[in-house]
Amino acid sequence: MIVAHNLSKSYGEHHALNNLNLNIAPGEIFCLLGQNGAGKTTTINCFLGFTVPSAGKAEINGIDVAEDPQGSKRHLAYLPEVVMLYPKLSGLENLDYFSRLAGFRYSKNQLQEFLLKAGLPGDSINRYVGTYSKGMRQKVGIAIATAKQAKALFLDEPTSGLDPKASNDFSLLLKTLAQEGVAILMATHDIFRAKDIATRVGIMREGQLVATHAATEFSATELEKIYLETV
């Protein structure tokens, strides 16, 4: 579902990405670990079509992102560190708006069900998003991904700034999406959260994917040790 073939991106002499090969299947959660500047966000941006690769290609559901960016976008959803929503619209109105942009029209009851399934409290659905916590905004983002029927989900530091309960709630949502067949690529600094939710964990350094491990291979402490030795 999410495939990188020798994906590279250079800025002059600086190689932000260097021959990245990656294959993430439906139902898999792949967490990318690495220091700032390791290439995690560049990787995601290539799949989103925000960054044009210097070589290689990024594919979503068999579609080359560079050749057909609009076609690939029909299959994906993206949650950045801060989900951009309209603060003067309610959670339901935001969901309705972004669903319509993606070509979907749902009844009010259907929109409410998406939000409730994403864990948004019922008494918050019709409140302005400007009053929401970050965790609540993330839940609206998950509802949007579900309403768009996204087959691939990209996340960049989605748990940064969340309290432990909100972070745990968010992890449970991602596991549910994976069980429903969504392929998920998440860039994070949170080693322990990655260990908890990932199917596989990749470690990046200087634009290269230098190690890949099944999350079940190690404890969180062992994974932290491997990460520190690798970067």
Paired tokens of 178: 């994976």
What residues contact residue 154 under an 8 Å CB cut-off, 6+ apart?
A: 44, 47, 48, 76, 77, 78, 79, 184, 185, 186
| Per-residue pLDDT, 122 | 94
Digit-coded pLDDT (tens) for 69-120:
999 999 999 998 888 999 999 999 999 999 999 999 999 999 999 999 999 9
Amino acid making up residue 165: K
Low-confidence ranges of the chain (pLDDT < 70): none
- Please name the CATH architecture into which domain 2-75+151-230 falls: 3-Layer(aba) Sandwich (3.40)
Helix 108-117 and helix 134-147: axis angle, to 10°? 120
- The domain spans of the chain are 2-75+151-230, 85-149
Give tens-digit pLDDT for 123-139: 999 999 999 999 999 99
CA–CA separation, 95 and 142 (whole Å) = 10
d(CA 152, CA 26): 8
Rounded alpha-carbon distances, angstroms, from residue 149 to 64, 73, 120, 181, 208: 19, 11, 18, 11, 31
Q: In which region does residue 152 sit, left (phi positive, over 0), alpha (psi from -120 to 50) or beta (all else)?
A: beta
pLDDT attached to residue 21: 96
d(CA 37, CA 55) in angstroms, rounded, equals 19
Predicted model pTM: 0.92
Do residues 136 and 82 make contact, with C-beta atoms less than 8 angstroms apart? no
Residue 2: helix, strand or coil by DSSP? strand
- Please give the structure tokens belonging to residue 163: 């309290």
